[in-house]
Amino acid sequence: MKNKVKFGLSNVHVAKIIVAEDGSISYDKPFAIPGAVNLSLDAEGEKTPFRADNIEYYSSYANNGYSGDLEIADIPEKFRIDILGEKKDKNGALIESSDVEIAPFALMYQIEGDKCGRRCVYYNTTVSRPSSEASTIEESKEPKTDTLSINTGARSTDKKVRAILERTEENARLYDNFYNSVYEEDATITEEQGV
C-alpha cells in the first residue's frame, strides 16, 4: 500500500537539541507548532564530476542537508522562548536580546498521501530570526503569516539527516506515537512512549 501522490502539511513539531558535555545528543519532548501553511526545502550539495577517457567517468553529490522556508500562521510563544531564546518578563512581554544564540532542534511534520500518511523528522535544524510584517485591513481581512528560514544538516554524532516513516499495519503503533519523542533508526516503542 504505497502512495502515488502526496499532499498537505500538518502536525509540525519541534524538539530542542540537548548537547551533553561528552558531545552526545538528545532531544527535549517535541511540542507542536500549529498553523502550518507551507514547507519548502531544497537539497544542498555540490556535484563533483571526475573526467577520464574524455567523458564524465564518475560523479558524486555532497549531502549538505536542505534549506528553505517554513511558513506558519503565527510563531507560538514556546518556540520564541525555547528556540529563538526570547525571555518573558514579569508583565508577559517577550524580550529579544542580541546576545542570545538560537537553539538547534529536530523538525517533525506530516504529509498526506492517497493511501497513507507519512511522518518526517530532520534531526539537526537551525533557523534564522523571522522578519516582521503588518499591514492595514482593507476590504477583507487577509491573515499575515510568519516565515522561518531554516537549514537542516547532518547530526554530528552519526551523520543522520532525516527519517521518513510511512504508516503500515506493522508500524502503526510507532507511527501513532511519532510525536512523543524524536524517531531513531530501528526504534521500538516502550510502554511509557505508548501512553
Q: Of 6, 5, 15, 7, nearest to 178 (Cα)? A: 15
Round the average pLDDT of the chain to a whole number and report it. 86
Rounded Cα distance between 195 and 190, Å, is: 9
Give ∠ CA 47-52-54 in degrees, rounded to 5. 105
Residue 56 grid cell: 564524465
Q: What is the pTM of this model?
A: 0.83
* Beta strand residue intervals within 28-180, DSSP E: 31-32, 36-43, 47-52, 55-61, 66-72, 87-88, 94-95, 105-113, 118-127, 146-153, 162-166
Residue 137 grid cell: 485591513
Domain ranges for the chain, please list them: 6-45+63-180
The one-digit pLDDT tens for each residue of the chain (195 residues) are 565 555 689 999 999 999 999 999 999 999 999 999 999 988 887 767 777 777 777 666 667 789 999 999 899 999 999 999 999 999 999 999 988 899 999 999 999 865 678 999 999 999 998 876 666 666 766 777 889 999 999 999 999 999 999 988 899 999 999 999 999 999 887 655 554
For 65, other C-beta atoms within 10 Å of its C-beta total 21
Span 9-47, pLDDT tens digits: 999 999 999 999 999 999 999 999 999 999 998 888 776
